[in-house]
Structure 1
Amino acid sequence: MHRKQLWKSNVGLLFDHRAELDNPMIFRLSHPLDIDPAGRTLLDIEELAQLVRRTSAALYAAGIRTGDRVAVFKNNHFDCLLLAAAACRIGAVPVMLSGLLPDEAVRALLRRVEPKLLVSDQQRLASEGNGASPLSALVEQTLCLDKEIPQALTLADLDGADEPPPAPRANDELMMLTHTSGTTGIPKLIMYTPDKLQGQMARLECRHLPPITYRRDDTVAVFLPYVHARSFTWIYSVLTLSPAKVLLMSDNDPEIVGPLFREHQPTVIEALPIDYDRMEELAEERRSNVFSSVRMFISNFDAVHWSRVRTFLNASRHRFPLWRDGYGQSETGGLGMTFITRRRANKRRDQEPGPRTVGRPMPTFVQIKVVDPRTFRPVPNGTPGLVFARTRARCIGYFGEPERWNEKAVGEWWNTGDIGIKTRTGKVKVLDREVNYTPGISCIELEDVLVDYLPKKHDVALLAVSDGPPVPVVAAPDGRLDQGQWRRAVRGLPELAEPIVIDIEDMPRTGTGKIRREELRRRYLGGAEGPGTGSWT
């Protein structure tokens, strides 16, 4: 296929094409990229395209060819995405692994994919968990980006190689592997083609739909796990809609975020719940002006507590700021979207708790139905059941694990593993993950209420059990919970067991900040089973 036909769905050619357009964009980085020898923090689109081409030449010089798998496992920064683009440009298949994955998971995934090259950094390559052999022993070659270590290539060894001609994969061929969150064990590896990832998942947000998509005068700040599929749909949308400036954040430390945001005044911010959590103290400083220009906050990956939504919307001085909350999965892309206004967020405490609305299915893109977990037959509106979705963006499988894929793919429908309801007006409300669902209770909603009424810097995970009320695990500063505050927080709520109190730093999380509930269950409940089957996690 001709290069001009491929750019729209292959990330390997995306930067080249965008650099050809006469529409400048500026990218400001929170710190320099590991693949940039010049150590710059300000780049334009042509300089990013040059970095992709230069890195693809280095990979080619290392012997990487069409179809070879290249594992990327490093600290989280935008160059993870650029490394993937460089591999895709020459037809290789990047395998994107979060730098926060535990050692056991990394080794299992490397054994599964048998990459020809591992691209990493000194911190991860030097780790030999439990006396195990180095990660380099699991791959043919290793490239260390930041330091010289034994038996590993460096970028300096490969620099200056001639740029190979682009040889991207066809639209229906495997282009990339990314992993699931791994909340219940070893993550799955999701298989994406160019058409699924860029052609389908990204297409809705690439439309000019103000105020809910980017405008040309926006300054966009983004905090993402740059190995995740979301970062690749995001880069397609941002390069299509061309906001004036993009702040590429790899650090949510308020000491870094504050000065940078005061200087550049973002108008749109996309971040993970854990990033908003870390930045909340900045939002509470009314005179800081850090978020005063923000017209839209975007959140994905997991539910953000209402108290946090309220804090950030109140920190904006925009006349009508919005919170855009996305619902979807790595295997399907976006399935629904909902918006929270400042007025709604501030009224939230006065309302009765209810299931969390995640929006309506995206028109013409997605269909959603709610079915009985045993028969998979549709249930009436308002009745809890498994949420099934049908979308052309659904990826093509789990690498090396077809049996796990077949457990969730039901014909053209996808079993999300969520328990929810569908209203007569078409809204979808999520109650819980099936594995943690207790009939008549929404643990997600109760966690929201509890966090709203507990002091700042507390988090709560409710573990459903089959023989009693849900067990709260409360993460508190210094591992201490004031019993009077707890009694006030639970007043009027359904019955809960006595709380298990842990230090906030001891809450087990995935690389995207999701709470690993099954790990909590193993640690504090002796592995006691929940009421759900856990068949579709």
Structure 2
Amino acid sequence: MKGSIAYRSILKRGLHIGLLPEMAAAVNASTPITLDHDLDVLPEAGRRLTVRQYADLVDDLAGRLWAAGVRPGEHVVLYKRANADHWMLAAAVSRIGAVVVNLSPALDAATVAVLMERLGRPSLLTDTGKLDVLAHVALGELTERVIVVAGEREGALSLAGLAGSPRVRPVLRPLDEAAVITHTSGTTGIPKLVVHTPRTQGQRLIPQWRLLSLMRKKETVAIHVPFVHSRMVAAMSLALLKEFPVLLMREADPAAVAEQLLEHRPVLIEALPNSLMEWEGLAADPRAPFGSVKVFSSTFDAIHPGTMSRLLKASDRRGALFFQIYGQSEVGPAVGRAYFRHSAHKANGRCVGWPMPWGAARVRVVSRDGHTPSQDNPGSIEVAWDGLAPAYFAEQDRYDTNRDGQWWRTGDVGYRTRFGCLHMLDREVDMIAGVRSSLEIEDVVLGRLPELSELVVVAGPDAEPVPVICTTDDAPLDPQRWKAAVAPFPQLADPVQIPQAELPRTATLKVQRLALADRFAKKPAERA
């Protein structure tokens, strides 16, 4: 009941991540939070915390940030190596009414400099390793102050040196003003800064809260998503207010992941699609690391049916399902669907689902050429609801070009079936003439060739579809098996095999298709 009261408060007053740990502690102070690594900012805290301890640490860090001079309404860029303390520090920034700007540790110095300039002299909360990355950036001109989370660095304040600072009363951001800023994946250039308000963050919890209400037992939830992403806000909020023990995972190596799953036996795993692809080999592990999992959940990007099938068959739970959510940072969760053990392998991977009930987003597909959108003539996918991000910071014109009244154009193309299922075929910028859907080709071929670890179809030098392939352990691909697998797609050029490590990726592990296409923009003879 306490969790329901907190949820109703969020619907009325919005989601303030600075208050969330305290609210979760009021629901159940003993809910455990377990990490697979030490906190950078407070390593002495250990890897096993209760929500009450977690809330106290956030309050402590908020006091230190206030002592460092951070004040309500200021922008605080949080750019440090990947660590669960990122979410804790973001909550501390929010708790004193400042606006946290979450930047991925994967961003390079030049991109970070551009984004900080866009923000207009923010404070920078970072670590000594990232200060080395930013060594040639004029931080004195771009920032109001620099704060390191641990250790010492000349010219920077240290949170460690501010231990024992007085606690301060929380300051709430207005319901419809910026509270958290994240960034887009940057697949097409400099990322955009996406503004989230207390209202939009709270709205995004609605459909997922109802879905989690179907899970009665309070078993462990394992979360492996980027700590900087807007998805992390929803994942942590939902798990803690629902009193689920949380396992926060940073390590992606399959062997390390298996050990964590075997020790903590989670009932639900939320992870990036590409992480799940990397882990699907664990399905053959005789120790059954996925045996306890009843729900696999993924967002960010569509996932291949073969991966879903292998994961579900590795679960020992009755009624195990894979729940996929389609959305983006600007939109939140738009549509979703469940896949089940005995049918996932036959699923059409382009069917990303139906609008979720209970006050969730509305979705439409708009014609791009005056003709009714269909499988062969996809339209633009648009979303409308109160969970839409209201702006790109300092790029309102760019935002407005994608907004039509209450509707947001996602940049994806697709169609809806007569049963209402939304099929997402491609990003509009990735469309290739003569190819109905690059993603569809990838789904089919990956399902037929388990030796492939990745397949990406991009435009070649003559706009022909070039399949770029990666194999397990970079082993050579059997040409005859490839020829048989791609027989339904005669328009494909010959495959180009590269090591998987050479695939350009975003912070959420999406392949940067345009960057990959640029690599093959020249003809083979010209590349030699």
TM-score (norm 2): 0.91
Deviation for aligned residue 1:8 = 5.1
Deviation at 1:234, TM superposition (A): 1.5
* 1:530 equivalent in structure 2: none
- 2:351 aligned with 1:357, yes or no? yes
Kindly state the Cα deviation for residue 284 of structure 1 after the two structures are TM-superposed.
2.1
Paired residues for 1:182-261 under 5 Å: 182-197=186-201, 199-207=202-210, 210-211=213-214, 214-243=215-244, 245-261=245-261
The percentage of aligned residue pairs carrying the same residue is 36
Higher mean displacement: 518-527 or 100-109? 518-527
The residue correspondences of 1:338-349 to structure 2 (distance < 5 A) are 338-347=337-346
CA contact (8 A) 2:13 2:198 kept: no
Paired amino acid for 1:394:
L
The answer to whether structure 1 residue 114 and structure 2 residue 108 are counterparts is: no
Q: CA deviation at 1:402?
A: 1.0
Q: CA deviation at 1:229?
A: 0.8
Which residue in 2 is equivalent to 1:301?
300
2: CA distance, partners of 1:454 / 1:260: 29
Structure 1 residues 104 and 299, CA gap change in structure 2 (3 angstroms)? same
Deviation at 1:403, TM superposition (A): 1.5
| 1:255/1:465 CA distance change after superposition, 3 Å | closer
What do residues 359-409 of structure 1 show as CA deviations (whole Å, max 9, x unaligned)?
11123422221112256x864798521111111111110001112101111
Q: How does 1:462-477 map to 2 (within 5 A)?
A: 462-464=457-459, 468-476=463-471, 477=473
Residue identity in the other structure for 1:67: G
Out of 508, 519, 522, the position equivalent to 1:512 is: 508
Distance across 2 between alignment mates of 1:223 and 1:182: 20
Measured after TM superposition, the shift of residue 239 of structure 1 is 2.1
Pick closer, same or farther for the CA change 1:316–1:215 going to 2, 3 Å. Answer: same
Query: Superposition pairs for residues 56-71 of structure 1, below 5 Å?
Result: 56-71=62-77
**What does 1:149-188 align with in structure 2 at a 5 Å threshold?**
149-188=153-192
Partner of 2:382: 388
Aligned pairs for 1:425-436 (under 5 A) are 425-436=419-430
For the Cα contact (< 8 Å) 1:370–1:420, is it kept in 2? yes
Q: What's the offset of the Cα at 1:332?
A: 1.1
Q: Which residue of 1 aligns with 2:317?
A: 318
Instruction: Classify 1:320/1:208 alpha carbon distance in 2 versus 1 (closer, same or farther; 3 Å).
Output: closer
For 2:85 and 2:455, how far apart are their aligned partners in 1?
Answer: 34
Do structure 1's residue 497 and structure 2's residue 493 form an aligned pair? yes
Given that 1:175 and 1:192 are in contact with CA atoms closer than 8 Å, whether structure 2 keeps it comes out as yes
SS of corresponding position for 1:339: strand
Q: Aligned equivalents of 1:25 and 1:256: distance in 2? A: 24
Please name the residue that 1:271 is paired with.
271
Q: Is the 8 A contact 2:445 2:485 kept in 1?
A: yes
- Matched residues in 2 for 1:414 and 1:122: separation? 39
CA distance in 1, matches of 2:89, 2:212: 31
Shift of 1:461: 0.8
3-state SS, counterpart of residue 282 of structure 1: helix
TM-score by length of 1: 0.90
Name 1:91's counterpart in structure 2. Answer: 97
Q: Which runs of 4+ in 1 moved over 6 A?
A: 4-7
* Residue identity opposite 1:372 in structure 2: S
Q: Give how far 1:200 is off.
A: 0.6
Q: How big is each residue's C-alpha offset from its partner over 1:57-80, in whole Å with a ceiling of 9 and x where there is no partner? A: 111011000111111011222211
Structure 2: runs of 5 or more not aligned: 1-8, 524-528
* Count of aligned pairs between the two proteins: 511
Shift of 1:255: 3.0
User: How much does 1:457 deviate?
Assistant: 5.0
> Partners in 2 of 1:344 and 1:72 — Cα distance?
43
3-state SS, counterpart of residue 110 of structure 2: helix
Change (3 A) 1:23 1:148: closer
Q: 3-state DSSP class of the match of 1:481?
A: coil
Q: Secondary structure at the match of 1:343?
A: coil
Q: Distance in 1 between matches of 2:194 and 2:130?
A: 23
Closer/same/farther in 2, CA of residues 22 and 124 from structure 1, 3 Å limit: closer
Give how far 1:471 is off: 1.2
Out of 276-285 and 299-308, give the one that drifted further: 276-285
Superposed displacement of residue 7, structure 1: 6.7
What are the Cα deviations for residues 489-528 of structure 1, in whole angstroms up to 9, with x where unaligned? Answer: 212234201122211110000010000011012121149x
Other-structure match for 2:518 = 522
> What stretches of structure 1 of length at least 5 have no aligned partner?
349-353, 528-537
**1: CA distance, partners of 2:48 / 2:388:** 36
Match of 1:405 among 399, 409, 413: 399
What amino acid does structure 2 have at the position aligned with 1:517?
Answer: R
